[in-house]
Structure 1
Amino acid sequence: MKLQFLGAAKQVTGSMYLLELEDGYKILIDCGTDMERSIDFDVPYEPAPFFPFDPTLINLVVLTHAHIDHSGNIPMLYREGYEGQVLCTPPTAELAALLLMDSASLHLRKLRAAQGESKKKHKQMDRLLRRGDLYLQKDVEDSLGNFVTLQFNRKFVIKPGLELTFIPAGHLLGAAHLYFSITEGDEVKTLGFSGDIGRFDYPLHIDPNPMPACDYLVCESTYGNRVHEDKLEPIDALAKIIKETCIDKPGRLVIPAFSVGRTQAVLYTLNRLIEERGFPAIRVFTDSPMGKSSTRIYAKNIAYLNPEARVFQKEYDDLFDVENLIFLQTEKESRAIRNYHEPCIIISSSGMISGGRVEQHIADNISNSYATILLIGYSAEGTLGRQLMEGTDLIRVKDREYRVNAQIRKIDVFSGHADQKGLLKFVANQKPEKLKTVFLSHGEEESMLEFREEIRRLGFSDVILPDKAETFTL
């Protein structure tokens, strides 16, 4: 069989792998958006296939989890002619529907803007759509009807000689490692895909489970050269900052947080502070319609959360119903809270401060010495989040410059990715005498290079950093 790396090769986003068996059966593992890719509507359009393969010849898609850098181009597959199924866990199907619909809305806004700015060059929506990974609500609906859900830790026979098991990865609600058992002739080969690996003892999410011993392993390496710095538990780290910002003084705490996963972890931790430690019920504004919708999905999938969260839900009835919590829906409601003068907590997306309503909250509070901006996750180069992490004195938001007088704090206890120690623990569960090759993906090259050396110290000699489009015979 052959394995081709079509995305997340020496970069973090765009996960996509093509597995072709000896009999020609083709499986696409993930089909994510490349976040580093941009579309220039002013460049003359040249017709070209979007995928480096014919989607009509793909037999099956398997999805590790719902994040857009893993699921975001599934609607494109169907628009290009794919007619098969997408296998995933039940929570992944629900979250993917939410995230893909949101992407379609963003694409529609981009297309309408391009139409308005370039009417002479582009007169029809379908011509604009052909430029790349841009799809509409109908494309999402066409794909969602083909999602088929499987439970964790149950072997599923796709066809004779091809078996798949979803194993809890802990990174997000429903996130999975993939374990394939493939019989070709008289030989059985096993292949594992890590997906994104979560952290142990993370709020809400279950711990990542070990991958069974396999012959080949594709492992993510997002934090392959980093160790999480904070030693406090999430509840203690958040309590300290809330006390300093909103209790010891009448300040505002602004928390940029991704709508899916991170927002729920913060809300649950806030709820624990009030219910278990008697913290005052400071006003909490959650400014993300998607955050509200994804919180509902988390609340209805209690069985997929960790034991601590299930016990809390049983005792206090609700994981996320924080006292004094208000979910903001409209942009008008979002703007109105600048006139709220009591201590408060504002949770808003995006987590990297790269678009979304959080940009306005940053603009409204960044020059306020009584405010604290709490960064709780990774921020990519070029984002406002990265600028604040690096200690800039001035930032620009929507063409206006602001001086940074607010306190800038950073904690990594809410990061959903395993660090180098967690990744090494995942690989160390394998047996050096059985595992033939480790392929590193979903990481920057610098991170991969250091992680490869650490893996080799564990006794695994063949560790490969694939290039994009590179194919391996297994």
Structure 2
Amino acid sequence: MRLTIWGAAQQVTGSMHLLQTENYSILIDCGLDYEKGTYQEENQHFPFNPAEIDLVILTHAHIDHSGNLPTLVRMGFEGQILCTPPTADLAELLLLDSVNIFLSKQNKRNKGRRGHHHSGPPPLYLQKHVMETVDRFITIGFNKPFKINGSIELTFIPVGHLLGAAAVILSITENEITKKIGFTGDIGRKNYPVLVDPEILPQVDYLVCESTYGGRLHSSNTTLEETLINTIQDTCIKSPGRLLIPAFSIGRTQSLVFTLNQIFSKGLLPPVQIFVDSPLANHATEVYRKHHSLVNNEAKEFYQTKGDEFEFDNLIYVHDRKESESVMNYLEPCIIISSAGMLEGGRIQDHLYHNIQNYYCTILFIGFCAKGTLGDRLLRGDPIIRLRNRDLMVYAAIKKTDLLSGHGDHQDLVNTVKNQDLAQLKRVFLVHGETKSMDLLATALIEEGYQVTIPEKGEIIEL
């Protein structure tokens, strides 16, 4: 049995792991690799023949895990894609949104290159490829062993992080010897709004573990509720300002809205108008309602006593462009939640354009911003940003909290591995992290006595 790490090897994005038995090939995740500026060209080709892959298993819907599935299908993959029910619904939304992003970028390139024949690479895939991909989804519930064939069994284990996100446990029998291989996907954190806590993984022989927050601990000196209350008080109550919160549409927005619902339903703040300006977030919230049985007990109890976690007075979901423009003309203090979380496109750019030079505006980042993104430039203190071909002075206050990060931190990752019997776990393979994070996590695990490998991209590992 061979394992090849073809993606998220010594980097964060592009998760893709190939597991091959004597006569069966399984791809675990097939995400977009964003590490290079030419990501469309980078993701056009696979280091294997897609037609020779028998099965894909998808850990969760995020685009760095699911985003290249339509390319795989377009290039000859004909098998099924196994995932949980919420992952199927959320992945469809994200993949269709990716098509819109591809087409939007192509249109911008074409406008900027009139008179030139070369307008850059075509979109990685189109809507028809997404729908062909969605048709291949087969959904399986959590903790329900599923026989893939006579020698391979799959079980999905809840890991928080995003609705439907799962660790993959594969039990494979070859030559009358059974081995268990675990893939953590992305591990969430405990007590996260809306989502369940990650479950302890069953014992495995080999573990492929994410390392995003290796060496880093989340803030512990305050709570999310306190942080939001203080920020809203300073921005919208003590002064007549507006609070812009760039938020990823799927997952982060739903958890933020529920937390705001709790704050205002308890009467901890006077009413403030809140706008959610993201069509994708609106659709994702409907998926969360559809799969309400999978939210955590806190959200279920709130629903039973106070009603819909994602609906309350003074909360408005913005739908079309006209409504979005009316939000920009709203003159009272307000909170605007909009995508994208790193400010790279989306309606948040419209709100940023109209408010970045507003002394009474605060921009609160609640998620990771990759290097080079507009969000990253604001967080590092750039005094001027360029938007819509204009240089704009940054007068708005810039703040950040990691309390809504969907990833478990260093200690959570260490604990995930430490729940495995040291005598039985033969090796841990670290993926999905920056090199520094991997090294720090590897050092901590080695100190605990575990055998740890940080694979290079394309490295073949015999299990």
Question: In the alignment, is residue 121 of structure 1 matched against residue 117 of structure 2?
Answer: yes
After superposition, give the CA deviation of every residue in 1:42-73 in whole Å (9 maximum; x if it has no partner).
Answer: xxx99x97111111111100000000000001
- Find the counterpart in structure 1 of residue 299 from structure 2: 309
Alignment equivalent of 1:335, drawn from 318, 322, 325: 325
**Matches of 1:204 and 1:403 in 2, distance apart?**
37
**Matches of 1:55 and 1:37 in 2, distance apart?**
22
CA contact (8 A) 1:267 1:322 kept: no
SS in 2 for 1:392: coil
User: How many angstroms does 1:121 deviate by?
Assistant: 3.3
- Find the counterpart in structure 1 of residue 7 from structure 2: 7
Q: 1:115/1:256 Cα in 2 relative to 1: closer, same or farther (>3 Å)? A: closer
Residue identity in the other structure for 1:83 = E
Q: 1:388/1:111 Cα in 2 relative to 1: closer, same or farther (>3 Å)? A: closer
Unaligned runs of 5+ in 1: none
**Matches of 1:52 and 1:273 in 2, distance apart?**
50
Residue identity in the other structure for 2:438 = M
CA contact (8 A) 1:230 1:411 kept: no
SS in 2 for 1:277: coil
- Find the counterpart in structure 2 of residue 182 from structure 1: 172
After superposition, give the CA deviation of every residue in 1:263-319 in whole Å (9 maximum; x if it has no partner).
Answer: 111111111111123532211111110011001111121111100000001112201
User: How many angstroms does 1:39 deviate by?
Assistant: 3.9
CA contact (8 A) 1:162 1:180 kept: yes
Residue identity in the other structure for 1:8 = A
Q: How many residues align?
A: 462
Percent of pairs with identical residues: 48
**Matches of 2:107 and 2:381 in 1, distance apart?**
37
Question: In the alignment, is residue 465 of structure 1 matched against residue 461 of structure 2?
Answer: no
**Matches of 2:154 and 2:13 in 1, distance apart?**
24
- Find the counterpart in structure 2 of residue 229 from structure 1: 219
- Find the counterpart in structure 2 of residue 415 from structure 1: 405
**Matches of 1:107 and 1:285 in 2, distance apart?**
27
1:69-468 → structure 2 map (5 Å cutoff): 69-114=64-109, 117=113, 121=117, 128-129=121-122, 134-460=124-450, 462-468=451-457
CA contact (8 A) 1:64 1:178 kept: yes
CA contact (8 A) 2:33 2:39 kept: no
- Find the counterpart in structure 2 of residue 19 from structure 1: 19
**Matches of 1:37 and 1:391 in 2, distance apart?**
24
CA contact (8 A) 1:30 1:61 kept: yes
- Find the counterpart in structure 2 of residue 53 from structure 1: 48
TM-score (norm 1): 0.93
User: How many angstroms does 1:186 deviate by?
Assistant: 2.2
After superposition, give the CA deviation of every residue in 1:189-231 in whole Å (9 maximum; x if it has no partner).
Answer: 1100000000100000100111111111000011102111243
**Matches of 1:230 and 1:400 in 2, distance apart?**
39
User: How many angstroms does 1:8 deviate by?
Assistant: 0.4
CA contact (8 A) 1:270 1:322 kept: no
SS in 2 for 1:205: coil
**Matches of 1:430 and 1:198 in 2, distance apart?**
18
Unaligned runs of 5+ in 2: none
After superposition, give the CA deviation of every residue in 1:79-125 in whole Å (9 maximum; x if it has no partner).
Answer: 111111000000000000111111112223334455563776359xx
Choose 438-447 or 233-242, whichever is displaced more.
233-242
TM-score (norm 2): 0.95
CA contact (8 A) 1:395 1:401 kept: yes
SS in 1 for 2:266: helix
Residue identity in the other structure for 2:443 = E
**Matches of 2:39 and 2:130 in 1, distance apart?**
23
**Matches of 2:164 and 2:220 in 1, distance apart?**
26
**Matches of 2:371 and 2:348 in 1, distance apart?**
18
SS in 2 for 1:372: strand
SS in 1 for 2:138: strand
CA contact (8 A) 2:44 2:124 kept: no
CA contact (8 A) 1:299 1:319 kept: no
SS in 2 for 1:297: helix
User: How many angstroms does 1:398 deviate by?
Assistant: 2.8
